[in-house]
Structure 1
């Protein structure tokens, strides 16, 4: 595999940005950066190939760096918007991670409190969540000023114990719960549970919102933030 940095510099790899919006007004809170390839390889395929070639750490860190570069140096960015960027637990516990974060801190110091590190759930990396160094690194990141999000809660391996230990700023619940939400009393009960759980400390984000009736139902239940095609597909930044 060619150097990851070179692939970004040649724009073989790039990021699309999907809006994340407040409910019920649909005004933008920020964006999630999503890795893309001109070769049309599915993002999961990119990370799987990188893992097989022992380049997952390089891809994960360079993807994060170039996402920040594209977003915070864009003339279309609004100053108060957040950027959600994905990161693997295995990256966070690497010995080289503090040096990488120092690089980010130096290069993006004015924007640290607008960066949301979105921790990817991976069954393959489930054991890492229980390592003391993982929780310590999360605490260190928050001390520096980064915000923390847990992704796909309700789908992967995250338990309420882990949520309590990490105390994330944002909890993103899986798109499964938004699909046909307006027709499912069971899903509404689960979403209400998360709404109540997030009332004081974390902010709840419902992913995969695509239909107006499901959006209206989510807003009625008390979901404060949504993401999905209804608010915008991944693409270029949308300036004011």
Structure 2
């Protein structure tokens, strides 16, 4: 069954590229699937947190037909984790890696005979999408010739994409910069202190990333762009490794807090890195920060991952509380150990009684649940004084200390 690319997609960013490339693929994909003896082959595009099926050829539908124009949440697909170097390009049912596959899918019964996936690129190192081929039934490992055929198809599609991107004026410099960062991480960790108001004692640091070779782009822009291209976990894992490597080099034993999206928290390699960091010194402490603005599609699934991190001794922090509308739902669902009050609340404490009432309510909540409240974005002595009057004990912000490299501790 050869499914045509007939759906009209609402995504306009690569529309001309999509149409030019997909029409050339149908017969080639069908021939490649037959040659490999597989059940399903497809080409996809990654955009806006989803894997969109552009063209599909299936001998028999896998569970349900894959429809061109439809999409799946990225973290429900194996291709997503292949692009982020968390899963290998080739997975077979008897491989030990299947345990990791089931972990990522949160499905102990998931099984597949063989799965082969390679990214396709407009910018080298930054996937436009994937070409993927799989079967439910087991088959012998791919021969060198079969693997070369599959790689060649991925390279041909990538070359076609780059050609049409250049013709259409979509070869974006910022994307080139991100691709370079993903290929060769050049991340400088900096640390912003979290202080106790009473005596100025540093209780911990938020570990942050600066991109050495592209200071013209804000870190927020780089992480947001990586997330949009389906490479958020890879960049976040690179950043976490750099921060923890530096904390180890500096002999830090204070709490280190690192920002993570819900997707990157699913990566088994992150849990292993956290475990190694904490086991290296019993005095070390670690927290992960999840933004109130984060899109959480499955609270139960994320909750199980957070429970596994808590079992290692990792604290869970909810960041940016007060900036969006999801704060209460996130607090109740995630049961954070730390609540970080956003700058938008702190900045208007003197002028808005509603802001002061929110702080008071969160303080009462934190007392009853045993979590700690930390105010972020403190920029003046007056803001600090109001927070102390309200009963807040801890804070972070430019007034208390800017993000900066730290000297080695002895």
TM bucket normalised to smaller:
0.7 to 0.9
Q: CA deviation at 1:230?
A: 1.1
Q: CA deviation at 1:47?
A: 1.0
Change (3 A) 1:218 1:107: closer
**8 Å contact kept, 2:258–2:289:** yes
Say which of 135, 147, 157 aligns to 2:303.
135
**8 Å contact kept, 1:149–1:171:** yes
Say which of 224, 228, 249 aligns to 1:48.
224
Change (3 A) 1:43 1:115: same
Change (3 A) 1:217 1:103: closer
Q: How does 1:12-161 map to 2 (within 5 A)?
A: 12-38=186-212, 39-40=214-215, 41-75=217-251, 77=252, 79=253, 81-93=254-266, 97-111=267-281, 114-122=285-293, 125-128=294-297, 130-161=298-329
Q: How does 1:189-228 map to 2 (within 5 A)?
A: 189-200=357-368, 201-228=370-397
> Which of the pair is proportionally richer in helix?
1
**8 Å contact kept, 2:292–2:330:** no
User: So what's the TM-score if we normalise by structure 1?
Assistant: 0.86
Q: Segments of 4+ in structure 1 off by > 4 A?
A: none
- Aligned-partner Cα distance in 2 for 1:5–1:141: 28
User: So what's the TM-score if we normalise by structure 2?
Assistant: 0.52
SS of equivalent residue, structure 2 residue 256: strand
Which residue of the partner structure matches residue 80 of structure 2? none
**8 Å contact kept, 2:292–2:327:** no
Change (3 A) 1:127 1:164: closer
Q: CA deviation at 1:156?
A: 2.7
- Aligned-partner Cα distance in 1 for 2:248–2:322: 31
**8 Å contact kept, 1:47–1:56:** yes
| Residue deviations 1:133-184 (CA, integer Å, cap 9, x gap) | 1111011110111111000011135332431232111000111111142343
Which residue of the partner structure matches residue 143 of structure 2? none
Which residue of the partner structure matches residue 4 of structure 1? 182
- Aligned-partner Cα distance in 1 for 2:364–2:203: 21
Structure of greater relative contact order (alpha carbons < 8 Å, 6+ residues apart): 1
**8 Å contact kept, 1:33–1:85:** yes
- Aligned-partner Cα distance in 1 for 2:243–2:321: 23
Q: Which runs of 5+ in 1 are unaligned?
A: none
Q: CA deviation at 1:60?
A: 0.8
Larger Rg: 2
Q: CA deviation at 1:189?
A: 1.3
Q: CA deviation at 1:109?
A: 1.7
1:168 and 2:346 equivalent? Answer: no
Q: Which runs of 5+ in 2 are unaligned?
A: 1-178
SS of equivalent residue, structure 1 residue 51: helix
